[in-house]
Structure 1
Amino acid sequence: MNSTIVLHQVSKSFGNKNVLNDISISVGSGQIFGLIGPSGSGKTTLVKIIVGMDLPSSGQVHVLNTPVPNLNLLQKIGYMAQADALYNDLSGLENLTFFASLYKLNKDVQKKRIAYAANLVNLTPHLTKKVQNYSGGMKRRLSLAVALIHDPQILILDEPTVGIDPELRKSIWAEITRLKKEGKTILITTHVMDEAEKCDQLAMVREGEIISSGSPFELKDHYQIHSLEEVFLKAGGDKDENNRIS
């Protein structure tokens, strides 16, 4: 399996505060890779470094064998931030059209991709409404549609299903699984353990460090525990040990 995202000994500090410490991960094509951990554990900072929105204090980041940051990579990455980056005074359709234009899609492809993305997140009936009139959940859904609009090779989703109802969440995960089968790389952050179970590989993050990693089955088998939530608690207690599972 080719590695599309590789981090080697990445650390990040803001002033005297160390946010990430010696992070090394490798994410392969056709893989759903989950970063799980509580709020404030460093997941969002790590994602921003992978996308190129922030620079590590030390260490190396490569995406598609290219050092990050690199503007050309943005054409191949779909990024959904934890905070919705939308234009509130524009309609949902105008937002999707604007972001599609950034990726240099021709008119016919734009139309098809907008229809696909809006339908996936169940926003088609609401596209003419201004985003300022959307609920929080609708904004999250539109942000996901934006991330998918250009059919990216890599999808990076920071807490994508927060505020989304269970039925739509199921539909979104079905699409994520389909994209994986197409060979896309999906990196997702979550603190929802049933979503973590759907990932091929996991890295458990606490206080800026990876405290354990492996597939959901490997993690539960290693700790002889039946739930990932218990694994996370156990791994945190064994933080000084080498908890990476080969």
Structure 2
Amino acid sequence: MTGLEHLALLGAGLGAGLLTSTVGVASLLSFPVLIALGIPPVVANASNTLGLIPGSLSGSFGYRRELREQPRIMWFVVATCAIGSVGGAALLLALPAEVFAVAVPWLILFTCLIVGVQPWISRWLQSRHDESHTLRPRTSMSPATTVFATLTGVYGGYFGAGAGVMMMAVLGLGLDLELRVINALKTIGLLAANLVAGVIFIFVAELNLTAVGLLAAGSVVGGYLGSHIGRRLPATLLRILVVLAGVIAAILMF
């Protein structure tokens, strides 16, 4: 790789770290950069997963105040994402590379759809809550929320782009918590999924170690900075940014 390509990867890691702790679409930035540099899709995805672990770690540290507010839910999210990511990593390694290349743009667009319709679903759930005064604020994970959180972990282990958005959608629909807390739970969930999948990839997948190192160096800074931005980011702006980033990335991938 040339010096400019090294800088591009370092910048991609920084930006991806910021996105990890804010809008949850880190791989929508870093993965296309790896592909543009000529790295094969499956190798790029495994390297990307490993390289973004420091960003999720520093972002989770930055959100430590929010995580202390919901320790029980935090451990549920960590466990479900970790378990699910094992299945996702296995799918990535078992399925032909062509399947992954074809599926990626559609997975990104599906994520954007979830983010786009979430306000209407949330309003519908809120109206049901208002009609029944016997319903209490939901501060624990229901079986349905747990199942969908696990499936999100599977998706995160298979392809990380948009996994954070999916987790925010799942937790936002299943729990009555502030956005800043949902963001914190999403970030540590991504950390669990990436960490488990990354360990698997170290032993059984082909990696581009230069890309891993440069992404890690950038993401560890971006993840911490993003946590301070994420707790102040308005929900509407967050949703608009996620959808725009997803549509653009999907078009480029097509």
TM over 0.5: no
- More helix as a share of residues: 2
Q: Which has the larger radius of gyration?
A: 1
Greater RCO (CA < 8 Å, at least 6 residues apart): 2
